[in-house]
Structure 1
Amino acid sequence: MPETRRGAAHHAPRPGGKLLADALVAQGVTHAFCVPGESYLDLLDGLYAVRNRITLVTCRFEAGAVHMAEAYGKLTGRPGVAIVTRGPGACHASIGVHVAYQDSTPLVLIVGQIPFGETDRESFQEVDYRRMFAPLAKWVTQIDDAARIPELMAHAFDVAVSGRPGPVVVAISEEMQKEMASVPDIGPAPVLPPHPAPEAMPRLMAMLAKAQRPLAVLGGSRWTAEGRAAIREFLVANDLPVAVSFRRQGLFPGAHPNFVGDLGVGADPGLVARAKEADLILAIGTRLGEPVSQGYTLLDMAGHGTPIVHVYPEQGEIGRVYRPALGIVSDLNAFARLAAETPPVRHPAWSGWTKEARAARLEQAKAPDYAGPLNLAVALQALEKVLPSDTIFTTDAGNFATWPTRFMHLAEGQDFLGPTNGAMGYGVPAAIGAKIVHPERTVVCFVGDGGFLMTGQEIATAFHHAVAPIILVFNNQMYGTIRMHQERSYPGRVSGTALTNPDFAKFIESFGGHGETVERTEDLVPAFRRAVESGRPAVIELVMNPEQITNRATIADLREQARRAAETAAKPPAGAAAATAAHGGTPGPAPRRIGPRNR
């Protein structure tokens, strides 16, 4: 073959659209999730040419497409790929980019763009994506020269998985996709992951040996099955109590004697109290963000309180909020393998500490005697017993999500996908994406009535691609989380949070799916079995008691708490009444505080 001046073999000219599709093949992409648009017709044609290599999943809404791609990224550890059109398409997709950013999920979003010759004229659907996505993505670029497609696409995939994983946005201008270029494809670079420094494990184990009440908190993304097994081996060998961070239930088996619960929204108050009592925190993979730290109240930011060992793949995240006693920069799976090979230092005091924490977890997972014919706690625990050991769970955001988190325990081979950024509308498309990636596994989605009607139309995508997730819709006829906060702050003043819903069973039946409505505790498992046997996408509506606003409180409880708080706030401080009487009048104004609080 003749050689070019750069020493690379000659390649036949290809249009940009074909180069883009071939670049995805070169990066090992197996699925791409899209809503089609005229801004990337040439890429669509390129994908037609590689349809035996890449499955193109046609979705109904851009947010749904990116959520499916994000679920792919969570399950595989490889960048999920979504493709959307310019302007409105990119704006709709942005919520999925935000999920991937806060969830540390590798993702590549490709956005069709206007012809670059029309830039800065406010052309039809023109958006500057570098400015739009800058706060939401690890890197944003635009390809205007077809010859640079292999280079920039390879870099996009490298960035998505490096350090702290996350989303990359690539805009592709319209006329560039027609431009011919003779360039080679570029595959992934064989990069070895970062490993702990030589002194990391000796220092960690020395700190562990001195602790009396240690607590491990697992989080993060891109864990492999081998990595999860290795970190479990290390934690169990040292008999440590193990909590998972917000919506990371799949990282440690819930039935294991060392599992003590999740630190996130709706966490067990007892676990939060124990975390505050701990004298060493092993934060492995978690950023220790706002949900995990209970609104940044759990630990001392300056590092003067409980010592923290923070293991994370990117140095810039270590100490960002909480100053650790020891920071270890490492790929999580590499750290887990090294930790599993390290001789344990089990301390006699830990056994009782771990057993107490585990007993507290089991106690708070007991199903209370809730009012009404459907006791969700009992029903979900009965469902747990009949689910396959490799079930994939997806969850939407909302108060309903705390029910399975509190009352169910994931098995070792099960996966749990949820938006740590609290994005409603995630659950249904994530379930469909998960089922497309793993059609052989049972996929169960937990979603509220509010979240379901944000992206529930994506169930059409499940039919189009012949996959059958099972969707459990928790229907309490309200935006439950906001109603909870409303009742705490403005009890009885219901504004903007009530909902009117369709018949969810008939909704899925209109597509040709299986629909059921469950109103009694004992009916959930039989309904679920019928849904599985139907072999079709299914929706099971759970008719909740609207009064039971959380799994720990009713609306009446919240109103009573608000009433008591108001009474306490209205009472004068101790001694104020006597002082008022002595001076023959009402208390004067409090002295004005001079300083930052009054500026």
Structure 2
Amino acid sequence: MTARTGARTGGRILVDQLRINGCDRIFTVPGESFLAVLDALHDTPEIETIVCRQEGGVAYMADADGKMTGRPGVAFVTRGPGATNASAGVHVALQDSTPIILFIGDVARGDRDREGFQEIDFPAFFGPIAKWAARIEDARRIPEYVARAYRVATAGRPGPVVLALPEDMLRDEVDTLDRPAVPPVAEAPDPGAVQALFELLKEATNPIAIVGGADWSPRASHHFGNFAFRYGIPVAAAFRRQDAICNSCGVYAGQLGYGPNPKLQQRIRDADLIIAVGARLGESTTDGYTLITPDHPGQTLVHVHPDPNELGHVYHADLPICSDMGEFAEMVDEWIDPDLVRFSAGEEAHREWLEWSEPAARDGVKLDLGPCVAAMRERLPDNSIICNGAGNFSGWWHRYWRYGKMPTQLAPTSGTMGYGLPAAVAAAIRFRDRPVVCVAGDGDFLMNGQELATAAQYDADLLVILVDNGAYGTIRMHQEREYPERLSATELRNPNFAVLAQAFGGWAATVETTDAFTRALDEALGRKGIRLLHCKTDVEVISNQTTITKLREKAKA
């Protein structure tokens, strides 16, 4: 039912609508363009206001919160530079299929189209990277717009919504009706399609599933893991979706993306039946659309996705199934077919992954990150949340860490740098009873390192593993492959990161050997608050699979 409450400011109406829809936290850098919203938040203790230090951090935190809760992460920024700073997080939410709502304070309605102070046409600016971008012109329609924003952000393939808020509209006092909370839309799969899937499984000799992505949830994870284990179907995680099923599941086969297990890649090539659930089968997951080609001759593709517009968008699907991920996973879990013989491939693939994910020490490497990840595995519980941005440093954790029940991984599939620390802050505030680890590179960290101030302000417990090789390592790796020994624009001169963390009130240690890492980790885990391990590594060991020397040798050959 709708409710009328008398005249209120637009800011008050907006905050009331957020409260009605279950919003319990917003992320912001304040701006004078939405003071009426900040004033309303003052009297709304149900919604915690997290004040950040840069709008990029705001949007990344909202994205991380949306990933962890399945509800739209909510962010408020001001116009002009505030909005453009936040645009990187909107792009992440689009490519990661994360529900977020970004509210932008805008110029007054009467001043529009004069190129006023910090004026931008926000629906035009954000339209290409959002599911919906609009401007609210009338305070009476705020409940309508907010309800639609929640529906668009969560329905089908989740994603970002952007709403511009003229500052004078937020000050208007009007009488309007509140709208009730927007319930989630959960579309069950067609039982006939599920029956067809089981018939395909009975005909298959080498099936494999690729999971994680749009609308994935703990419910989907639980039921799909049960289904896959019951029938012995290997399950690979799409790029940076490694918590899509618990890695201890006996048929988990590892992750796709950059630097996957070659044996897993071969399993994909040899598969006669591919079951993609939630995944778009994007460029990273499919190794540039080559591991699985869009027409996949000789292979049958079952593509399960919550958005009908995604089915057939790039990949020809022999059996497209439009469904909520949780509904689909539960149906296949409960669907018992006595004629389907259990495959042995699932457990074989899991053994291969266990072998692949066990680090071995490298001779002559002072600080060897593989054994460092192993030390973390021994000391941290399965429910730890690992957060990272982009860079070769992340490959050690993607290969050697073993992710527990979701949400335990916060990592952008869009490959954006600077994501890890804001995501870790959001996770540490959301789950104060769970260990949170930010893994960052030196270039990656300094893109949003200022959010350590946010962590300190809100008493967040988080551990930062900062890998410092004095370079933009991923670009250096490509540079060495394409233009060996012609170094250009990839060297970095860095601060003393340990001292920087201490300036934010944290504890820190500088680490230069593998043994020193283990000792420092033990001390860090015995403390609370911000803890940072400044790990100085050799740029020669450019990734977890190669070195600069080997790259140069290959280039010369």
The answer to whether the 8 A contact 1:42-1:177 is kept is yes
Q: Residue 364 of structure 1 aligns with which residue?
A: 356
Q: Residue 91 of structure 1 aligns with which residue?
A: 84
Structure 2 distance, partners of 1:345, 1:423, is 46
Structure 1 distance, partners of 2:463, 2:424, is 8
The answer to whether the 8 A contact 1:73-1:106 is kept is yes
Residues 477-496 of structure 1 show CA distances to partners (whole Å, capped at 9, x for unaligned) of: 10111001000100000100
Q: Residue 506 of structure 1 aligns with which residue?
A: 499
Residues 33-80 of structure 1 show CA distances to partners (whole Å, capped at 9, x for unaligned) of: 000111111111111121x11000000000001111111100000000
Structure 2 distance, partners of 1:466, 1:190, is 33
Structure 2 distance, partners of 1:179, 1:93, is 26
Query: What letter is aligned with 2:330?
Result: R
The answer to whether the 8 A contact 2:63-2:100 is kept is yes
Other structure's SS at 1:135 match: helix
Structure 1 distance, partners of 2:91, 2:338, is 40
Looking at CA atoms only, which structure, 1 or 2, has the larger radius of gyration?
1
TM-score, normalised to structure 2, is 0.97
- Which of 243, 247, 267 matches 1:250? 243
Query: What letter is aligned with 1:499?
Result: L
Residues 312-338 of structure 1 show CA distances to partners (whole Å, capped at 9, x for unaligned) of: 000110121110110110000010110
Structure 1: stretches of 5+ with no match in the other structure = 1-6, 565-599
Query: What letter is aligned with 2:28?
Result: C
Q: Does 1:12 align with 2:20?
A: no
Structure 1 distance, partners of 2:340, 2:485, is 52
Residues 373-414 of structure 1 show CA distances to partners (whole Å, capped at 9, x for unaligned) of: 222111111211211232111111111111011112113366
The answer to whether the 8 A contact 1:76-1:222 is kept is no
| Overall identity of the aligned pairs, in % | 42
Deviation for aligned residue 1:180: 0.9
Structure 2 distance, partners of 1:424, 1:345, is 49
Other structure's SS at 1:132 match: helix
The answer to whether the 8 A contact 2:136-2:164 is kept is yes
Change (3 A) 1:401 1:8: closer
Other structure's SS at 1:445 match: strand
Change (3 A) 1:191 1:554: closer
The answer to whether the 8 A contact 1:389-1:414 is kept is no
The answer to whether the 8 A contact 1:238-1:344 is kept is no
Residues 93-134 of structure 1 show CA distances to partners (whole Å, capped at 9, x for unaligned) of: 000000000000000000000011111111110000111101
Structure 2 distance, partners of 1:154, 1:387, is 41
Query: What letter is aligned with 2:537?
Result: M
Structure 2 distance, partners of 1:390, 1:473, is 21
Query: What letter is aligned with 1:79?
Result: P
The answer to whether the 8 A contact 2:229-2:249 is kept is no
Q: Residue 48 of structure 1 aligns with which residue?
A: 42
Residues 182-227 of structure 1 show CA distances to partners (whole Å, capped at 9, x for unaligned) of: 1122122345411101201110000011111111111114433333
Structure 1 distance, partners of 2:365, 2:4, is 73
Q: Residue 124 of structure 2 aligns with which residue?
A: 131
Q: Does 1:326 align with 2:319?
A: yes
TM-score, normalised to structure 1, is 0.90
Q: Residue 29 of structure 1 aligns with which residue?
A: 23
Change (3 A) 1:230 1:192: same
1:142-161 correspondence runs (5 A): 142-161=135-154
Query: What letter is aligned with 1:248?
Result: R
The answer to whether the 8 A contact 2:11-2:36 is kept is yes
Query: What letter is aligned with 1:525?
Result: T
Structure 2: stretches of 5+ with no match in the other structure = none
Change (3 A) 1:22 1:513: same
Deviation for aligned residue 1:256: 3.0
Other structure's SS at 2:293 match: coil
Q: Residue 575 of structure 1 aligns with which residue?
A: none
Structure 1 distance, partners of 2:29, 2:185, is 35
The count of corresponding residues between Structure 1 and Structure 2 is 556
Q: Does 1:483 align with 2:476?
A: yes
Structure 2 distance, partners of 1:182, 1:526, is 62
Deviation for aligned residue 1:298: 1.5
Structure 1 distance, partners of 2:351, 2:382, is 24
The answer to whether the 8 A contact 1:68-1:430 is kept is yes
Query: What letter is aligned with 2:349?
Result: A
Q: Which moved more, 1:64-73 or 1:254-263?
A: 254-263
